[in-house]
Structure 1
Amino acid sequence: MSQTDERPANADPRSTPERAFDWTDPIRELRRLTRPWREGWQRYRNAQLSDRGFQIRAARSFLTRPFARRASRRLFDLTAGFVYSQILSAGVELRLYDRLAERPRTLGEVCASTGLGEDAARRLLRASAALDLVEIDDSDDETLYGLGPLGAALVANPGAQAMIRHHGALYDDLRDPVALLKGETSETALSRLWPYAAGRQPEHEGEAAGEAPEFDAAAYTDLMSASQDLVADEVLSSYDFSWAKTMLDIGGGDGRFLQKVAQRYPAIDLHLFDLPPVAAIARQRLSHARLGGRITVHEGDFFETPFPGGYDFVSLVRILHDHEDDAVVRLLTKIREGLKPGGIVMVAEPMAGSRHSAPVADAYFGFYLLAMGRGRARTPKELGRLLNAAGLYRVREIPTALPVATRILLGELPRRSV
């Protein structure tokens, strides 16, 4: 223990050791100084909210009734969330929302197109309407069912639909969340699906290397590709990398992201690196793409296989959150060794530490990656420390319009030794 951590044996364990104000992070320092007051307020607030008498009074008062109703609805939504997701899954599987996007339908038409009986179809439509996926128009003798605002947004996002279809494996793994948290689940469906979680060489010394299970490379690539557009568009609209001469996309899948880059930046020499079966799919698909001829595909294990050298820009799109800290540092170090001085590494993925992205990063990806077998969502500050540990500096975040989809962090290899 360092001297700064030492304190008298009879000291209050809740007390904070006195130290100088850190002007490099004033917001955090102000939060530290106001912590006793915030803790007092939290104790008072929670005591009130957990009191049944206060709940009844809040629900009856016209001043507090809107807040009480909103809190009650949010709590019920958490309780019923699994049912909501299954309603969504059924609608996607039956292509209900795609059909309603064409035009409003009668109940009979919905039954004919989905194969459901009238009672089941009406139940699914009313449930979807309650979730703003469907709108019901009963102004005439015959009720019509059309697309709701969330349904319209869903139809416009094939990546979201692909993830919803994929969630069957995740739901199986989350059947017993306590066992998953305690590490009592020997093998999960997601660990069998993602090759780098189950089939790659162990990331930690002493970790047993088992037989690499077979995985469906096409299904794996299709899922990543379908969910790539929103992230790719967000990256390209947030950061201008026209300065780059040679770009390497690590874990680039079938090249969907790099095709968008090629369209936006015709002068960049583009390279893609991924696992051999995925690289084979990329070569095949890029051979039929209009801009695919500009992309060179390389294959291998990006922890073991040498990368092509001489690049000045490297992108890691939804890669680092799939791996543990030591593996991330090894990968970033390997990238840095082949990076030109002044070159930049871009990390683009959902990140923790923001109220906008926390439900995606901390809740969804927190448990998704737990089921997958490794990795976690990190804050930009945590990622910055890993970039620094790999010899990349001047770490900075690039704002994005939709942080729920992705956030962007840049790290640079200095032109001179530091």
Structure 2
Amino acid sequence: MLAESTAKQTNVPVTLDPSRIMQFGMGFWASKVLLTAVKLNLFTHLASGALSAKGIKEKLGLGASDRHVYDWLDALVSLGLLERKGLLDEALYSNAEDTDFFLDKNKRSYTGGILEMANNRLYKFWNDLEDGLRTGQPQNEGKGKPQGNMEFFTELYQNEERLQEFMDAMSGIQAGNFMLLVNKFDFNTYDTMLDVGGADGWLSVQVCLRHPSIQCTTYDLPPVKPLAERKIAQFSLSNRIRVAGGDFLKDELPKAGIVTMGNILHGMNEETKAQLVKKVYDLLPEGGALMAIENIIDDERRQNTFGLLMSLNMLIENGDAFDYTMADFERWTKAAGFKRTERIPLAGPTSAAVAHK
């Protein structure tokens, strides 16, 4: 048997290469290199100008050897996240174009909130993916607790600092998508918009900045209200964006011409998804629309890797929740009574799925 196995191994095509397998298997190395840079505000510091490795050590208060700081920074260079002129002691490091745009905290385009939460929360929970697949139960703060998949939110909303981190994460992961969306979709077609699960109101802010006629309501649980009011006031939009608090699954929702949801449906099981879609259909006027902004998985489930991984993240966070395809969305909205659907591609893996009444 051993001889037969050895003989088969000698016939392995020379074109096969294990590097892709190793890249994925050890992917947490690269992940932690980036997440640490975000945690230490490296990209925000470099947005002000290029720095040497010694200058970076001083600004970030790093005590590692010069060699290991070079390794960290040059790993970021090799990943395309930093640019560098010179080598080692003579090197000057600066942001790559995309990291400068998306990971400088002083820019409106900052999307690092989700990466901060990934570093502070999700990284350790993903170590228990195997348990999640075996049990179908959440692997976050609610693991092993009888309250089930919403325990995370129960704890989260009791701590304003952690709640703010979560709001920043939700805004961060969608910031680029929202900016694209308000230029691709004419919200002025509707007089009013209701953003269900609107977090800190970031989508409503983007819509109002781009579309001068529409009035918006951002709707989330009551503890989120002061965070949203602060964000909206920063843009002097308090007269156009109302902040409402409640449980969108249990309470009556305000009426609007278009209802939006950013990363909301994916956090529910299929039965609850269908119930919320029907609830929105019933409150919309004829000609109204439901818009879900999500990492819509391709119908063949082969291309949108991020969407599939996000769906596994919903297992970690909520147990029976999952991300979905456009075919899934069409099935739920058709069952509720919507007439037609369309998909608007946004940044990277994200799309806006729209159902018209």
TM-score by length of 2: 0.84
Aligned-pair identity in percent equals 23
- What residue in structure 2 maps to residue 416 of structure 1? none
State the Cα deviation string for residues 236-279 of structure 1 (Å, max 9, x = none): 12222321122211111221211221122222222221111112
Alpha carbons 1:314, 1:345 under 8 Å: kept: yes
Give the counterpart of 1:335 among 280, 297, 303.
280
Stretch moving more, 282-291 or 123-132? 282-291
State the Cα deviation string for residues 264-314 of structure 1 (Å, max 9, x = none): 2222222221111112322344344312211122211001111123x2211
Letter in 2 for 1:103: G
1:248–1:356 Cα change, 3 Å: farther
- What residue in structure 2 maps to residue 366 of structure 1? 311
- What residue in structure 1 maps to residue 191 of structure 2? 245
1:290–1:79 Cα change, 3 Å: same
Q: Distance in 2 between matches of 1:257 and 1:184?
A: 32
State the Cα deviation string for residues 362-399 of structure 1 (Å, max 9, x = none): 12x0221111014211000111111122222212223x
State the Cα deviation string for residues 138-160 of structure 1 (Å, max 9, x = none): 37982333334554454358643
Alpha carbons 1:312, 1:340 under 8 Å: kept: yes
- What residue in structure 2 maps to residue 198 of structure 1? 150
Alpha carbons 1:313, 1:343 under 8 Å: kept: yes
State the Cα deviation string for residues 317-346 of structure 1 (Å, max 9, x = none): 221111111111111111112111221111
Quote how far apart the aligned CAs of 1:167 are: 1.0
- What residue in structure 2 maps to residue 103 of structure 1? 49
Quote how far apart the aligned CAs of 1:200 are: 9.6
- What residue in structure 1 maps to residue 91 of structure 2? 143
SS in 2 for 1:411: strand
Letter in 2 for 1:53: N
Letter in 2 for 1:308: P
1:200–1:111 Cα change, 3 Å: closer
Q: 1:126 and 2:74 equivalent?
A: yes
Give the counterpart of 1:181 among 106, 130, 133.
133
Structure with the bigger RCO (C-alpha within 8 Å, sep 6+) is 2
Q: 1:165 and 2:111 equivalent?
A: no
Q: Distance in 1 between matches of 2:231 and 2:98?
A: 32
Alpha carbons 1:351, 1:357 under 8 Å: kept: no
Alpha carbons 1:369, 1:375 under 8 Å: kept: yes
CA RMSD of superposed structures (Å): 3.1
TM-score by length of 1: 0.72
Alpha carbons 1:262, 1:294 under 8 Å: kept: yes
Give the counterpart of 2:265 among 317, 320, 328.
320
Letter in 1 for 2:279: K
Q: Distance in 2 between matches of 1:196 and 1:295?
A: 34
Alpha carbons 1:235, 1:348 under 8 Å: kept: no
Give the counterpart of 2:11 among 36, 53, 64.
53
Alpha carbons 1:89, 1:165 under 8 Å: kept: yes
Q: Which ranges of structure 1 fall in alignment gaps of 5 or more residues?
A: 1-49, 59-67, 202-209, 414-418
1:280–1:125 Cα change, 3 Å: closer
Letter in 2 for 1:316: M
Q: 1:274 and 2:232 equivalent?
A: no
Aligned length: 338
Quote how far apart the aligned CAs of 1:215 are: 4.7
- What residue in structure 1 maps to residue 246 of structure 2? 300
- What residue in structure 2 maps to residue 43 of structure 1? none
Q: Distance in 1 between matches of 2:228 and 2:308?
A: 31
Stretch moving more, 128-137 or 81-90? 128-137
State the Cα deviation string for residues 200-249 of structure 1 (Å, max 9, x = none): 99xxxxxxxx9997354333223223333212112112222321122211
Alpha carbons 2:138, 2:315 under 8 Å: kept: no
1:185–1:159 Cα change, 3 Å: farther
- What residue in structure 2 maps to residue 264 of structure 1? 210
Stretch moving more, 315-324 or 118-127? 118-127
Q: Distance in 2 between matches of 1:186 and 1:348?
A: 23
Q: Distance in 2 between matches of 1:107 and 1:87?
A: 15
Give the counterpart of 1:349 among 291, 294, 313.
294
What is the 5 A alignment of 1:365-384? 365-373=310-318, 374-384=320-330
Q: Distance in 2 between matches of 1:90 and 1:326?
A: 39
Give the counterpart of 1:386 among 332, 335, 353.
332
SS in 2 for 1:76: helix
SS in 1 for 2:26: helix
Letter in 2 for 1:409: A
